[in-house]
Structure 1
Amino acid sequence: MKLLIIGATGRCGLATTKRALQCGDFDVTAFVRTSSTLPEHTTNKIKVITGDILNADDICDAINGQDAVISCLGSRTFGATTLYSIGMQNIVAGMRKHDVRDLYFIGGIIYMPGFPKPPELPPVTEDVERMISFITNSNDIAWVGCMPPDILDGECTEHYKAAVNSLPGPGKVTAGDIADWMVSSLSDQAQREKNKHKLFGISSMDLKVTMQIRLFVIGATGATGLAVLLRALRHEDIKVTAFIRDELKLTEDIKGKVQAITGDITDAECLMKAMKDHDAVVSCLGNSGIGSTTVFSEGTVNIIEAMRANNIKYLNFCGGAYYLGHRRSFSPLKLVMPVINDVEKMLQYVKKIDDITWVATMPPSITDDDFTGDYKVEVDRMPGPNKVTKHDLADWLVISVTDQSKMEEYKHQFVGISSIRLAECILL
């Protein structure tokens, strides 16, 4: 079967492309905005067509000669868009012109009829609703809707359930499970007919089976960065990449245990290539001097653009307690003002980012003391004393950026952090 996968560089699109190749029943074509974000080991096994889903001719030409279509359309922003509705109209028009019948598409559980919706929804949801309304009224197309809850980065667990017009289990599903369900049901003609013109909720039933996070650490040879590597290596489900200027600065207890990529944070192209195939980013950017710099502001712009290009959703980065709202009355030394000004530019830039789930961790004085595990975080203020050990800070950076629920809880917030037990020891 000749299969066109639309949005093949996104989280679900990549997983679907991988699963379709594994299945062996499909001749796969990927329709993408840019081919540079497809993994190199995939591009030589599939046909790649670059184009714009909002251009009717682009998608119509791509559909020509195909037997089926899977749409993994995704927007990079939560703002107003017509990507979903106009994109789906173009897909259906191309399928009608070239007599292609079978279509699987991804929506979301909140669009399931009768499913309760959150009180406040971003503007993008209006367009997804327009898409679903259009396709569910296109009865000449054998459409099937996959309506997932929270989508997690992860391989197929083989422990998932799908149910018509309902959520069959927990409110989480891996991209691998979504891909497996769509590809396996599409490859079975009897199952395709059974599923036709239905919306399916889907849940991963046992997420402990194969979940693995690929963590990209920036500034990994500084004191905090090295501590982040050590904490991440304690987790069997985290695969770590260190982005560094000088590989020789990696300590002996880390060498050989992480993937080390040398590069410059101000080199946007280098960073974009290095960040490919990762799920989350921790940035421990630092400056070797106190003079004028753009490493924080320019570096963070490059980080965000690289994450967008590689469809990476989660970022936790370090700032400083000085930038928390209740501490701004503090007057820093004029000597370090150039650095402070550049960090300020970085923070002002990040505040405007709504398509990346970011958390800004704002540590006070960072000590070299051992890990205590007794630390607290609080939004926009220090939760305790003005000290945190580098290992407590690292632990927070690692466990938060690899935990979707924590990232959603602290999303787009400045977070203070304090080591509590360390302060008690000092007082004694």
Structure 2
Amino acid sequence: MGVGERVRLFVFGGSSGTGARLVAQALDAGHRVTALARRPESVPRHARLTVVRGDVLQPGGWGHELAGHDAVLSCLGSADRRPTTIYSQGMTGIIAAMRECGVRRLACVTSASLGLSPDAPLGQRLLIGRVVRPLYRHMYADMAKMERIVAAAHDLEWTIVRPPRLTDGALTGEYVTAVDQHLPRTRSLSRSDLAHYLLNHLDDERSRQATIEISRR
């Protein structure tokens, strides 16, 4: 995938949040996109967009659809406090389908809260360590499990992206990143800027088999 090259992307979680912004930006850039959705009618129609009805936890219904795509991008998310397997089980199915269909490039989203920098402000460390992570412990546990599953896929060209708190702010393109290390300080990031990074760094060699922390500049 060269810079400016039109590609075929398969997006999980493309009906809302970061995923919806990713789909919109990819289409605006001239790419062809396939999105998995439980309710296809919730996804705006576009000539270069194919929407596949399905559940990420049931790959038997969509796995073959990955054939012919250049990259898979996962923006799966859950704010549920109950135990969940959407991250780990979902990614297990995604990777299996990628291998079967011969797709190697994968980018997925987790959270900067999984590994805070020791240099982060004390207030931020206390809030996340004592409030946020305990409150959403099941989600973070499954998210961490997904990271381990992805990192073990040595045959794939994967990227794990860890954003901070996400907002519905505008696209600015003003963000900083760190490869396989912590940013000393993170600031909230718009979902549009996160989508911009995901879309525009698929051919970034530094991001291959790496974990990227990202933050608003």
Give the TM-score range, shorter chain: 0.7 to 0.9
Question: Which whole-Å deviations, capped at 9, do the CAs of 1:184-220 have from their partners, x for residues lacking one?
Answer: 111xx3x1x2211111111122xxxxxxxxxxxxxxx
Task: Give the number of the structure with larger relative contact order, counting CA–CA contacts within 8 Å between residues 6 or more apart.
Answer: 2
Report the 3-state secondary structure (helix = DSSP H, G, I; strand = E; otherwise coil) of the residue aligned with 1:69: strand
Question: Unpaired runs of 5+ in structure 1?
Answer: 206-428
TM alignment of 1:233-382, pairs within 5 A: none
1:66 Cα offset (Å): 1.2
Conserved? CA contact 2:13–2:75, under 8 Å: yes
Residue in 2 aligned with 1:53? 56
- The 1-side partners of 2:32 and 2:9 are apart by 6
State how far apart, in whole Å, the 2-side matches of 1:33 and 1:198 are.
30
How has the CA–CA distance of structure 1 residues 174 and 30 changed in structure 2, closer, same or farther, with 3 Å as cutoff? same
Structure 2 counterpart SS, 1:118? helix
Could you tell me how far apart the structure 2 residues matched to 1:128 and 1:54 are? 15
Match of 2:145 among 104, 108, 130: 130
What's the TM-score once normalised by structure 1's chain length?
A: 0.44
1:46 shift after superposition:
0.5
Q: 1:176 aligns with which of 189, 192, 195?
A: 192
For structure 2, which runs of at least 5 residues remain unmatched after alignment? 1-6, 119-124
Q: Percent identity between the aligned chains?
A: 29
Task: Figure out how many residues of one structure are paired with residues of the other and give that number.
Answer: 198
The answer as to whether partners of 2:54 and 2:61 remain within 8 angstroms in 1 is yes
Q: 2:77 aligns with which of 59, 74, 79?
A: 74
Q: Structure 1 pair 96/114, CA: closer, same or farther in 2 (3 Å)? A: farther
The corresponding residue for 1:108 is 111
Cα distance between partner residues in 2 of 1:15 and 1:87: 21
Write out per-residue CA displacement over residues 403-428 of structure 1, whole angstroms, 9 at most, x where no aligned residue.
xxxxxxxxxxxxxxxxxxxxxxxxxx
1:21 counterpart = 2:36? no
> SS of the counterpart of 1:146?
strand
Report the 3-state secondary structure (helix = DSSP H, G, I; strand = E; otherwise coil) of the residue aligned with 1:83.
Answer: coil
Q: Please point out which of 86, 96, 99 is paired with 1:96.
A: 99
Secondary structure of 2:41's partner? helix
Runs of 4+ in structure 1 deviating by more than 2 angstroms, as ranges, are 42-45, 112-117, 167-171
Equivalent pair of 1:5/1:71 in contact (CA under 8 Å): yes
SS of the equivalent of 1:100 reads: coil
Deviations 1:102-157 (A, max 9, x none): 00100000123766651324222111111111111111111101100100012311
Instruction: Say if 2:97 is the partner of 1:85.
Output: no
Q: Distance in 1 between matches of 2:206 and 2:129?
A: 31
1:9 alignment partner in structure 2: 15
Question: Contact 1:168 / 1:202 at 8 angstroms: preserved in 2?
Answer: no
Question: CA separation of 1:50/1:168 partners in 2, compared to 1, >3 Å: closer, same or farther?
Answer: farther
Q: Distance in 1 between matches of 2:37 and 2:65?
A: 10
**CA shift for structure 1 position 44:** 4.0
Task: Output one character per residue of 1:221-247: Cα deviation in whole Å (capped at 9) or x when no partner.
Answer: xxxxxxxxxxxxxxxxxxxxxxxxxxx
Residue-by-residue CA offset, 1:236-265 (whole Å, 9 max, x unaligned): xxxxxxxxxxxxxxxxxxxxxxxxxxxxxx
Letter in structure 2 aligned against 1:6: F
Q: Distance in 2 between matches of 1:69 and 1:30?
A: 10
